[in-house]
Structure 1
Amino acid sequence: MNKVIAGLLISVFSLAATACTPTQEGAAIGAGSGALIGTAIDGGGLGGALLGGAIGAGAGALVGRAVENQPGKCYYRDRYGREYVDDCPR
């Protein structure tokens, strides 16, 4: 039963990551992978899944942020919440 729940969690995180920034994608994929690994290590316990998910989300966000950064570019957000990248002002 726990394997089914873990599989569903990974599916949900994968679908949620389709319209995200690289940082958000990394966090979602890391959380899903970490939860699956934590469940396997803990022998199906919820504690391992939660701890693995939290660690995976943090690590995935860091990796995603490193991929997202572009030298010489600035990130802007307009009043509607849309994000875009442009050259930094001099």
Structure 2
Amino acid sequence: MVLAGCSATDQQINRAGTGALIGAAGGALAGQAIGGNTKSTLIGAAGGAVVGGAVGAATAPQRQNCRYQSVNGGTYVAPCSDGY
């Protein structure tokens, strides 16, 4: 997850953070329900944060690249404009 963050977009980072928070909350609830003690709650929260962050980053919409032709006849690839 740390290496993937080096090339992540802002939207991926935001979704990963949100996913981590939601995952941590769900993991804490599950850990408390299963173990019934603080250690289980913390383990569940940590596991949920990791999984939630990974899912959030992986499900972020990816910006597509388009192929354009320049005025001199060459081609180049750049992020698609909002019209496409």
- Structure 1 residue runs of 5 or longer lacking an equivalent are 1-19, 74-85
What is the total number of aligned residue pairs between the two structures?
A: 56
| Structure 1 equivalent of residue 26 of structure 2 | 33
Query: Structure 1 counterpart of 2:24, which letter?
Result: A
| Structure 2 equivalent of residue 72 of structure 1 | 64
User: So what's the TM-score if we normalise by structure 2?
Assistant: 0.59
Match of 1:23 among 11, 16, 22: 16
The higher-RCO structure (CA 8 Å, 6+ apart) is 2
How far has the Cα of 1:69 moved from its partner? 4.4
C-alpha RMSD of the superposition? 2.2
| Aligned partner of residue 59 in structure 2, secondary structure | helix
| Structure 1 equivalent of residue 51 of structure 2 | 59
How far has the Cα of 1:53 moved from its partner? 0.2
Which has the greater radius of gyration?
Answer: 2
| Runs of 4+ more than 4 Å apart | none
How far has the Cα of 1:72 moved from its partner? 2.7
- Structure 2 residue runs of 5 or longer lacking an equivalent are 1-12, 66-77
How many percent of aligned residue pairs carry the same amino acid? 41
